[in-house]
Amino acid sequence: MSEHSTYVPGSAVEKWLDDRLPVVRFAKEHLMDFPTPKNLNYWWTFGAILVMCLGVQIVTGIILAMHYAPNVALAFDSVEHIRRDINGGRVIQATHAVGASMFFVALYIHMFRGLFYGSYKAPREILWILGVVIFLLTTATAFMGYILPWGQMSFWGATVISNIFSAIPIVGDSIKQLVLGGFAVGNPTLNRFFSLHYLLPFIIAAVVGLHIWALHVPGNNNPVGVDVKDSRDTVPFHPYYTMKDLFAMVVFMIPFAWFVFFAPDILGHPDNYIMANSQVTPAHIVPEWYLLPFYTILRAIDFNVLFINSKLGGVIAMGGAMLCLLIVPWLDTSKVRAGTFRPMFKWFYGLFVINFIALMYLGAQEAAEPYTTLAKVCTAYYFIYFLVILPVLSRIETPKPLPTSISESVLGNKAHA
């Protein structure tokens, strides 16, 4: 990809370094000169926002780990110790906890942007799949992080979710015991979740590196979805997009700071201020909001199908929901990327977004009518969207005419008049 490089070493030292390890050349190519479509809208700033979120979580997390004690007898009080006795501890801890929610806000917006603008289509399939891998790793990391304060929701959330493994035939119970380090959630669970919660963010960072590498081979998709034709369609990443991304990051930090400083506990559950107790089950066990859509799909399968019991069926459905994301590049074969030019897709996509929010809402409700029926309907639409609507639309839909280039779309019809 050295074709974008305009780097000329400015001194003998830089020349010496460039001949041996061209890091400066690499940085100039990829962080400064990289040609980026000039028509990206603000939905495209969430990639940079997510890098910031990961950074915030790692920095605050490392500080929290200096004061946290991963032991069932000490964990709950050690988190309170951080909040009460560590300098700035209340804010660092709140930033980490609120940061997890903000991370998922950005993550979901980033994914739904990709789904609307067809960013998963050739030649960006690997880029998309790496993104889904990042999503799954982040979900696992966030889930394990929620166990660490060792409150009632931590404990019972871990108990409910780890039961998922036991649904797997034959090896399920062994896997569950391996994950928990015993027959039930306990000290070994807390220890290994802490260890993995510290490890996984660095693996996520590595996959983010691959994700950006895979982005820099074909370059960015863009809101009209037509390929970059020549240099008039692009601007260098720096200063144009560094500036725009920085602006978006600062704006994103405003609601972030609102929650950290004025409502740090509103995104959590009061029960998590009660220390974990295996003898007392909370009245209503709810996972964190960002896990709720998939939790609803898990719970929606409350009926047996042939030899598959409802428990295994739920696990298959939840796994399938994530698998759909992985294979969507081959389900949606329409050549047109941007949803803007697909008159039918637009409506089904809009319904899919609403449906996803409904799944999230339903996950927090108790297992009673009308929620259980609604959960089944919403789960069905989730799968129908990927497995039926996208493949069928690809064949029957007549897209609107595409602009011939990004420049033409930017100049609009004035160019033709």
Partner 1 sequence: MIGSVKMNMHKLIIAAAALVAGLAMAAPAHAAEAGPQPERQAWSFGGIFGTYDTNQLQRGFQVFREVCSSCHSAHLLAFRNLMEEGGPEFSEAQVRALAAEYEVADPTTESGRRPAVPADRWPSPFASEQEARDANGGALPPDFSVLAKARGVKDPFPTWIFNYFTAYQEGGPDYIHALLNGYHEEVPEDAPHNSDGTPFQLPEGKHYNDYFPGHAIGMAPPLADGSVDYAEAENGAGVPETLEQYSSDVSAYMMWLAEPHLVSRKQTGFVVLIFLVLFAGLMWGTKRKLWAGIEH
**What gap in Å lies between CA 253 and CA 274, rounded to an integer?**
30
Distance of CA 12 to the CA centre of its chain: 44
- Residues making contact with partner 1 (CB under 8 A): 38-39, 41-43, 77, 80, 83-84, 90-91, 94, 116, 223-224, 235, 239-240, 243-244, 246-247, 250-251, 253-254, 257-258, 260-266, 270-271, 273-274, 283, 338-340, 346, 350, 353-354, 357-358, 361-362, 365-366, 368, 370-371, 374, 403, 407, 409-412
Q: Which is nearer to partner 1, 101 or 141 (CB)?
A: 101
The residue among 253 and 331 lying less far from partner 1, judged by its C-beta, is 253
Please list, in sequence order, all residues whose beta carbon lies within 8 angstroms of the beta carbon of residue 109, skipping any fewer than 6 positions away.
Answer: 43, 46
Query: In one letter, which amino acid is 50?
Result: L
Smaller CB separation from partner 1, 265 or 302: 265
CA 173 to each of CA 40, 293, 301: distance values in angstroms, whole numbers, following the listed order: 49, 25, 21
Residue 416 known to bind ligand:
no
Q: Output the smallest distance, CB 257 to partner 1, in A.
A: 5
The reply to whether 211 sits in an annotated binding site is yes
- Shortest spacing between CB 307 and partner 1, in angstroms: 35
φ, ψ of residue 45 in degrees (nearest 5): -85, -5
CA atoms within 13 A on the CB side of 394: 17
Q: Which residues lie closer than 8 Å to 237 by C-beta, 6 or more apart? A: 30, 31, 32, 33, 34, 35, 36
Give Dmax over CA atoms of the chain in angstroms.
Answer: 76
Is 230 in a helix, a strand, or coil?
coil
Q: Shortest gap between Cβ of 148 and partner 1 (angstroms)?
A: 16
CB closer to partner 1, 246 vs 384: 246
**Closest separation between CB of residue 177 and partner 1, Å?**
29
Q: Is 284 annotated as a binding residue?
A: no
Q: What angle do CA 159, 161, 166 make, to 5 degrees?
A: 90
**Smaller CB distance to partner 1: residue 102 or 260?**
260
* Residue placing its CB nearer to partner 1 in the complex, 27 or 243: 243
Q: What angle do CA 399, 124, 116 make, to 5 degrees?
A: 45
d(CA 120, CA 337): 9
- Are the beta carbons of 40 and 222 closer than 8 angstroms? yes
Q: What span, in angstroms and rounded, lies between the C-alpha atoms of 356 and 286? A: 17
The residues with which 151 forms a beta bridge, in sequence order, are: 275
Least Å from the CB of residue 392 to partner 1 = 22
**Shortest Å, Cβ 67 to partner 1:** 15
Give the residue with the Cβ less far from partner 1, 19 or 366. Answer: 366
Residue 238 marked in a binding site: no
Query: Does 110 belong to an annotated binding site?
Result: yes
Name beta bridge partners: 82: none
Q: 236: helix, coil or strand?
A: strand
For the bound state, the minimum distance from the C-beta of residue 9 to partner 1, rounded and expressed in Å, comes to 27
Question: Which residues line the annotated binding site?
Answer: 96, 110, 197, 211, 216
Binding site as annotated, residues for a ubiquinone: 216
